[in-house]
């Protein structure tokens, strides 16, 4: 059964027009080699915007905005679902798929039950937090409460509440200040208290000195009897029933108290005595002056102006913070107990779900393990708080341990890690996130379309083969439809061989003057040199072999080798060049290439230079294959020879024998000296820019040749021919 993907793009970024049909019933994967500037980025970007389905971000021609854009992608004649497209681009540093880990709960029933329980718990917690916020006036009750009682940043609200529930009180103290006015998020109050410890200690000592003389309040090493304790007593006897029963209070100095009003009066007098104490006032003025110098403490200053005795509590900042929260929660103690009971009733089932899920929850662990073993990078990845990922339904925390030179690993944050990694190492990091996304999409079982956009670019060879191995595994399964884009010729050939791709699913792209894109059958997936040798009887291939064999002699023998020098004469106008015959060159081929030892050519008697020019003319006049390497090599050699012919004619007195290397460059410099105003200099300069890589095929890397436009080479050949 066919599974056809039909793409029709018009005026999508750099693509003028592209109309192509991919049949994924014959292969899970297609490979497209696109030379730089052809269509790769525009193709990937168009698919990426289709996948995002954002009405404000659509494919278009960003320069000529009046051009009508078309971006139609059909699967079996039906419009593709944007959610079924994923463009994998390792340059996309905004992509984060770690949240996909929670979707690896393979059992749909478990996931649904978990989601239901979690929603109930969360809804109840939200309602409780609303009440708590009214009491505390804190900007973030949940976080503040957790951080007050736990140093674990991933602590669970319910578990912290469970630890503190026994400390909640039936009788609680109310505070008349906003929580964040004293316990501010930036920690300015804490910094102030630490910085001004001396004057605060003076204030507290003066306070204790006054208390020691009070007939009512007392402060001892073990316990304190202060305003809070006095108010508790007043509340408990406010209806006077205590006194009506015949009881009374007798203070330490013998003073008898027989009614509530009398008690209140004594307490108020004692408080005023404390507040009006001149020494204590002087101590507080020092504190007040220090606060006044800090604009960020304005709210805290207002709190102290209402009740400066709060400074006594702030002597132990963290303890007072805990005391505050215990009193807040005590005010809604019944609701807190009810919420905690509900959590406990659901917790057992949640733990059972997690236990069951763990049996099916090894996939993401395997991703991390495989990544760590395959990719050669200076960090190891871990996923921390694994159970919390489910329990709290939060994004997974990826933990990175960086290590080099055999030192102990040091944990790094994401941002810090990326700042120290090389470009290739950063790409490996981002690939990890796409691996999570791909695994999560497998669960959909919808054969999503994956577009790999030069994912191995900037990788070293170890990491390049690591990502190729991933792609191979995806290709061999039936989970996805895959299109692999690259402008890296080595990657193109490696993918072809590693994935055992059929030639029918391998393409090379070309672009005409209207930016219309054509996908041609892929070439040069095997050894190009061997291919040329087998085609030696055709002039184009014979001429192309000159550069190959010359390089072969250079690598295996010496530049002083006579055969090397003769082949060099084929690429430059030397005295001996004009007399060389094709058969002279073929004899060298036969000596160096065993396959040609007993072979013959039909054009052996032809003058070599004339053969090269004639062959280049035939290529120029044909509607030539844009991709064919042999065409480009022949044109490049002919361009060089015609250029040197022109330069030598213009420099009749110049001694060619004096040139040891870089003949074209040397001649060009002499030409520029003699004809500084010549308009032809620009044309000749283009020869130096465009042809060296095509003639000197160093290391047999053919990417420069394939990327070179045939149109540009043919136009340059015409220009240079016109000079002569």
Q: Estimate to the nearest angstrom the gap between the alpha carbon of 359 and the chain centroid.
A: 30
Residue 704 or residue 590, greater confidence:
590
User: Total structural domains in the chain?
Assistant: 3
Asked if residue 26 and residue 73 are part of one domain, the reply reads: yes
Instruction: Give the three-class secondary structure for 453.
Output: strand
Asked if residue 545 and residue 450 are part of one domain, the reply reads: no
Asked if residue 34 and residue 95 are part of one domain, the reply reads: yes
The mean per-residue pLDDT over the stretch 21-45 comes to 94
Q: What count of other Cβ atoms lies within 10 Å of the Cβ of residue 447?
A: 16
Asked if residue 494 and residue 553 are part of one domain, the reply reads: no
Q: What is the largest CA-CA distance in the chain?
A: 140
The mean per-residue pLDDT over the stretch 345-361 comes to 76
The terminus-to-terminus CA distance of the chain in angstroms comes to 60
Predicted local confidence at residue 23, as pLDDT: 96
Domain-terminating residue out of 460, 493, 521: 521
Predicted local confidence at residue 434, as pLDDT: 82
Predicted local confidence at residue 173, as pLDDT: 83
Predicted local confidence at residue 584, as pLDDT: 95
Domain-terminating residue out of 504, 521, 538: 521
Asked whether residue 152 is domain-assigned, the answer is: no
Strand extents, DSSP E, 84-144: 85-88
Asked whether residue 368 is domain-assigned, the answer is: no
Domain-terminating residue out of 469, 504, 521: 521
Asked if residue 694 and residue 625 are part of one domain, the reply reads: yes
Predicted local confidence at residue 472, as pLDDT: 94
Asked whether residue 345 is domain-assigned, the answer is: no
d(C-alpha 451, C-alpha 445), whole Å:
17
The mean per-residue pLDDT over the stretch 14-24 comes to 96
User: Per-residue pLDDT tens for 297-307?
Assistant: 778 778 777 77
Residue 101: closest CA among 366, 284, 291: 366
- Please report, for residues 534, 553, 581, 596, 678, the alpha-carbon distance to residue 588 in angstroms, rounded to integers and kept in the order given: 16, 10, 12, 10, 40
Q: How confident is the model at residue 101 (pLDDT cuts 50, 70, 90)?
A: low
Residue with tokens 């793409």: 7
Give the chain's radius of gyration (CA, Å).
41
d(C-alpha 411, C-alpha 407), whole Å:
12
**What order of strands is seen across the sheet that includes strand 85-88?**
85-88, 448-453, 480-486, 29-33, 506-511, 517-521
**Over the chain, what is the mean pLDDT?**
84
Write the Ramachandran bin of 512: left for phi over 0, alpha for psi from -120 to 50, otherwise beta.
beta
Residue 519: closest CA among 117, 10, 19: 19
Asked whether residue 109 is domain-assigned, the answer is: no
Asked if residue 474 and residue 581 are part of one domain, the reply reads: no
**Interstrand relation of 480-486 and 29-33 (parallel, antiparallel or unpaired):** parallel
Q: Estimate to the nearest angstrom the gap between the alpha carbon of 174 and the chain centroid.
A: 49
Q: How confident is the model at residue 545 (pLDDT cuts 50, 70, 90)?
A: very high
Each residue of 453-473: b (16+ CB within 10 Å) or e?
A: bbbbbbbeeebbbbbbebbee
Residue range of the domain that includes 187: 179-306
Asked whether residue 283 is domain-assigned, the answer is: yes
Q: Rounded to 5 degrees, what angle do the CA atoms 117, 119, 122 make?
A: 110
d(C-alpha 527, C-alpha 524), whole Å:
7
Predicted local confidence at residue 283, as pLDDT: 66
Asked whether residue 376 is domain-assigned, the answer is: no
Tokens standing for residue 106: 């393979």
User: Per-residue pLDDT tens for 390-412?
Assistant: 444 444 567 788 888 878 888 88
Predicted local confidence at residue 391, as pLDDT: 46
Asked whether residue 570 is domain-assigned, the answer is: yes
pLDDT over 50 at 106, yes or no = no
Q: How confident is the model at residue 292 (pLDDT cuts 50, 70, 90)?
A: low
Asked if residue 541 and residue 656 are part of one domain, the reply reads: yes
Asked if residue 604 and residue 470 are part of one domain, the reply reads: no
Asked if residue 493 and residue 578 are part of one domain, the reply reads: no
Q: Minimum mean pLDDT among 550-564, 615-629, 644-658: which range? A: 615-629
Tokens standing for residue 319: 């303890």
User: Per-residue pLDDT tens for 26-36?
Assistant: 999 999 999 88
Q: What count of other Cβ atoms lies within 10 Å of the Cβ of residue 553?
A: 22
Asked if residue 300 and residue 183 are part of one domain, the reply reads: yes
Asked whether residue 384 is domain-assigned, the answer is: no
Asked if residue 229 and residue 187 are part of one domain, the reply reads: yes
Asked if residue 245 and residue 222 are part of one domain, the reply reads: yes
User: Per-residue pLDDT tens for 137-185?
Assistant: 888 889 899 999 988 877 889 999 999 999 998 888 888 888 888 888 8
Q: What is the CATH number of the domain that holds 508?
A: 3.40.50.300
Surface-to-core class of residue 650, CB atoms within 10 Å of its CB (0-12 exposed, 13-18 middle, 19+ buried): middle
User: Per-residue pLDDT tens for 63-89?
Assistant: 999 999 999 999 999 999 999 999 998
Predicted local confidence at residue 392, as pLDDT: 47
Tokens standing for residue 615: 């062959």
User: Per-residue pLDDT tens for 654-707?
Assistant: 888 888 888 888 999 999 999 998 888 888 888 887 776 556 665 345 667 777
Predicted local confidence at residue 393, as pLDDT: 46
Q: Estimate to the nearest angstrom the gap between the alpha carbon of 316 and the chain centroid.
A: 44
pLDDT over 50 at 719, yes or no = yes
The mean per-residue pLDDT over the stretch 193-210 comes to 76
**Interstrand relation of 506-511 and 517-521 (parallel, antiparallel or unpaired):** antiparallel
pTM attached to this predicted model:
0.63
């Amino acid at each position: 059964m066919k599974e056809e993907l039909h793409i029709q793009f018009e005026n999508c970024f750099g693509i003028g027009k592209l109309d192509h049909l991919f049949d994924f019933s014959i292969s899970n994967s297609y490979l497209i080699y696109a030379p730089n500037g052809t269509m790769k980025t525009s193709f990937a970007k168009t698919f990426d915007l289709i996948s995002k389905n954002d009405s404000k971000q659509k494919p278009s021609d960003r320069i000529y905005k009046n051009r009508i854009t078309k971006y139609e992608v059909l699967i079996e004649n039906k419009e593709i679902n944007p959610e079924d497209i994923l463009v994998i681009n390792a340059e996309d540093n905004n992509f984060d798929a770690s949240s996909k880990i929670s979707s690896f709960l393979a059992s749909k029933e478990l996931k649904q039950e978990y989601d239901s329980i979690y929603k109930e718990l969360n809804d109840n917690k939200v309602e409780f937090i609303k009440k708590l916020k009214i009491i505390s006036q804190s900007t973030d009750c949940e976080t503040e409460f957790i951080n007050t009682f736990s140093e674990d940043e991933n602590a669970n609200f319910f578990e912290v509440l469970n630890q503190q529930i026994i400390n909640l009180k039936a009788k609680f103290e109310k505070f008349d200040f906003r929580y964040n006015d004293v316990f501010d998020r930036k920690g300015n109050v804490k910094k102030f208290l630490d910085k001004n410890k001396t004057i605060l200690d003076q204030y507290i000592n003066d306070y204790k000195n006054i208390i020691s003389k009070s007939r009512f309040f007392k402060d001892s090493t073990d316990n304190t009897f202060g305003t809070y304790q006095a108010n508790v007593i007043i509340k408990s006897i406010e209806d006077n029933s205590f006194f009506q029963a015949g009881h009374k209070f007798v203070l330490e100095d013998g003073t008898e108290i027989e009614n509530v009003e009398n008690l209140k009066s004594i307490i108020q007098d004692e408080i005023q005595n404390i507040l009006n104490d001149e020494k204590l006032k002087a101590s507080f003025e020092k504190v007040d002056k220090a606060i006044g110098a800090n604009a960020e403490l304005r709210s805290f200053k207002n709190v102290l102006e209402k009740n400066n005795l709060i400074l006594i509590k702030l002597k132990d900042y963290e303890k007072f913070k805990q005391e505050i929260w215990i009193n807040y929660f005590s005010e809604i103690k019944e609701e807190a107990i009810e919420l905690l009971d509900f959590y406990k009733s659901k917790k057992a089932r949640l733990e059972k779900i997690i236990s069951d899920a763990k049996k099916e929850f090894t996939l993401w662990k395997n991703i991390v393990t495989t990544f760590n073993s395959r990719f050669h990078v200076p960090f190891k990845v871990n996923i921390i708080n694994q159970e919390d990922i489910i329990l709290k339904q939060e994004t997974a925390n990826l933990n990175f341990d960086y290590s080099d030179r055999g030192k102990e690993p040091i944990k790094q944050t994401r941002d810090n890690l990326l700042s120290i990694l090389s470009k290739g190492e950063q790409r490996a990091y981002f690939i990890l996130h796409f691996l999570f996304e791909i695994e999560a999409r497998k669960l959909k079982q919808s054969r999503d379309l994956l577009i790999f956009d030069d994912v191995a670019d900037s990788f070293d060879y170890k990491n390049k083969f690591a990502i190729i191995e991933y792609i191979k595994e995806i290709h061999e399964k039936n989970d996805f439809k895959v299109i692999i884009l690259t402008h890296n010729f080595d990657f193109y050939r490696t993918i072809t061989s590693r994935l055992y791709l059929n030639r029918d699913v391998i393409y090379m792209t070309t672009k005409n003057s209207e930016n219309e894109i054509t996908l041609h059958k892929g070439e040069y997936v095997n050894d190009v040199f061997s291919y040329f040798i087998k085609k030696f009887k055709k002039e184009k291939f014979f001429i192309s072999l000159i550069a190959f064999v010359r390089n072969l002699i250079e690598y295996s023998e010496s530049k002083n080798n006579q055969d090397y020098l003769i082949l060099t004469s084929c690429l430059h106008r030397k005295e001996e060049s004009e007399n060389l015959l094709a058969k002279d060159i073929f004899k060298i081929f036969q000596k160096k290439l065993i396959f040609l030892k007993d072979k013959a050519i039909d054009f052996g008697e032809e003058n070599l230079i004339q053969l090269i020019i004639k062959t280049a003319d035939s290529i120029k006049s044909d509607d030539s294959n844009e991709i064919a390497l042999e065409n480009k090599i022949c044109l490049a050699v002919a361009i060089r020879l015609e250029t040197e012919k022109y330069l030598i004619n213009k420099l009749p007195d110049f001694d060619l024998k004096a040139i040891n290397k870089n003949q074209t460059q040397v001649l060009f410099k002499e030409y520029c000296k003699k004809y500084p105003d010549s308009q032809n200099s620009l044309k000749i300069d283009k020869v130096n820019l465009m042809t060296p890589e095509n003639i000197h095929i160093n290391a047999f890397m053919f990417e420069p040749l394939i990327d070179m436009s045939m149109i540009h080479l043919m136009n340059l050949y015409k220009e240079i021919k016109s000079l002569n």
